[in-house]
Amino acid sequence: MSLRQAILGGLAAFGLLLGGCGDSQPAGQADAGTPPPLGLTPEQAARVIARVDEEKITLGDFAETLDRMDPFDRLRYQTVEKRRELLNEMVDLELLAIEAKRRGLDKTPEAQESIRQVLRDAVLTEARNALPAPAEIPIEEVRAYYDAHKDDYVEPERRRVSAILLDDEKKAKEVLEAVQKAPDAAAWGKLFFEHSVNAAADKRLNVPPDLAGDLGIVGPPGDKKGANVKVPEPVRAAAFKLAKVGDVYGEIVTYENKHYIVRLAGQTAGHERRLEEADRQIRVELLKQKMKKLEDDLADELRKKHKVEIDDAALAKVASPPATP
């Protein structure tokens, strides 16, 4: 667990902490426009529970992080000892931060870049609060996206391809004739194990005859999602010319000096996903688009508010770092 996560658990027993700090004076008031988290009053949230030089750790510091903590993690910090351990970790964190500043480490390029990243994320997180949750996106917007992208929700037919693979074309034609005379699965498996150059692997795995020579599943020619590196395009095309499972293509398919006898081993009909099936996926995609537009609009707005100058000539002269071997 990270230190940040551990600190979150410290507020699991507000009552004891409040009781222990009951005689303390408030260190300040919370911002009027931002109510304290987890039901604390401004006075309670401002109570100081530890000091490190001029830095203060308040009860509100615990509450703000606890509010974002996984409930199961909070259960680890129910005892006084565990709460004290968390508070000591917070103190140690402040001490290390003070020491880093004393050594000037906060001025290093790495530290400054980290700070910029944190500030960027804080601004974007605040901006994203205006976005709807996926479930809040109107169904009309979801339906419009679905109608405009219907091709994305059509699953073409899928076919499982088997093949007997040979190096010699003449021998391949002889085996094809034998397959055509006895087209059942048992005969196919027997001929595969007797003649295919890649039969050894299937033998070691004790593959049954009807699955012998399995190359995997493919979609129709032209379907990018249905490609399979084990199935050359001519073999794929031949598989989609077969009428039914168990059929063997009537010609030898030659590819890169290898000769394939192609068999259709399985078949799954195409399917069009209905709006109801695609609803959740579409909502997530729409939210991503809204988030991207929000970030782009924010960047454009900030560029109008601030002076930005880019020296393209200087940028063109920057040499790329050498590639890592």
b/e map 169-204, b = 16+ CB within 10 Å: eeebeebbebbeeeeebeebbbbbbebbeebeebee
Q: Report the alpha-carbon distance of residue 238 to residue 293 in Å, rounded.
A: 46
Is the Cα dihedral 95, 99, 101, 106 positive or negative? negative
Q: Report the alpha-carbon distance of residue 59 to residue 70 in Å, rounded.
A: 19
Residue 18: pLDDT above 50? Answer: no
| pTM (2 d.p.) | 0.58
Q: What is the pLDDT of residue 137?
A: 96
Q: At what angle are helices 185-195 and 169-181 packed, to 10 degrees? A: 160
- 176, 248 contact by CB (below 8 A): yes
Q: What is the pLDDT of residue 323?
A: 64
Range with lowest mean pLDDT among 74-88, 92-106, 117-131, 236-250: 74-88
Q: 267 pLDDT band (50/70/90 cuts)? A: very high
Residue 275: pLDDT above 90? Answer: yes
Residue 325: pLDDT above 60? Answer: no
Domain 153-271 carries which CATH code?
3.10.50.40
Structure tokens belonging to residue 6? 């551990």
SS3 216: strand
Rg for the chain, CA atoms, rounded: 33
Q: Report the alpha-carbon distance of residue 24 to residue 27 in Å, rounded.
A: 9
Cα dihedral 229→231→232→238 (10° resolution): -150
Q: What is the pLDDT of residue 85?
A: 82
Quick one: which of 169, 190, 165 has its CA closest to 178? 190
Tell me the mean pLDDT in the region 166-183: 93
Q: What is the pLDDT of residue 190?
A: 92
Q: What is the pLDDT of residue 259?
A: 97
Quick one: which of 22, 103, 17 has its CA closest to 57? 17
Q: Report the alpha-carbon distance of residue 252 to residue 35 in Å, rounded.
A: 77
Range with lowest mean pLDDT among 188-197, 299-308, 309-318: 309-318
Q: What is the pLDDT of residue 324?
A: 63
| pLDDT mean across residues, the chain | 85
Q: 70 pLDDT band (50/70/90 cuts)? A: confident
Tell me the mean pLDDT in the region 170-175: 96
Residue 204: pLDDT above 70? Answer: yes
Structure tokens belonging to residue 321? 């770092």
pLDDT in tens, 22-59: 333 444 444 545 788 778 888 988 999 889 998 888 88
Cβ neighbors of 41 (< 8 A, separation 6 or more) are: none
Q: What is the pLDDT of residue 1?
A: 40
> Domain extents for the chain?
3-128, 153-271
Q: What is the pLDDT of residue 61?
A: 87
Q: 93 pLDDT band (50/70/90 cuts)? A: confident
Bridge partners, 159 (sequence order): 218, 267
Q: Report the alpha-carbon distance of residue 324 to residue 278 in Å, rounded.
A: 42
pLDDT in tens, 136-169: 999 999 999 999 999 889 889 999 999 999 999 9
pLDDT in tens, 78-92: 788 877 887 888 889
Tell me the mean pLDDT in the region 250-258: 95
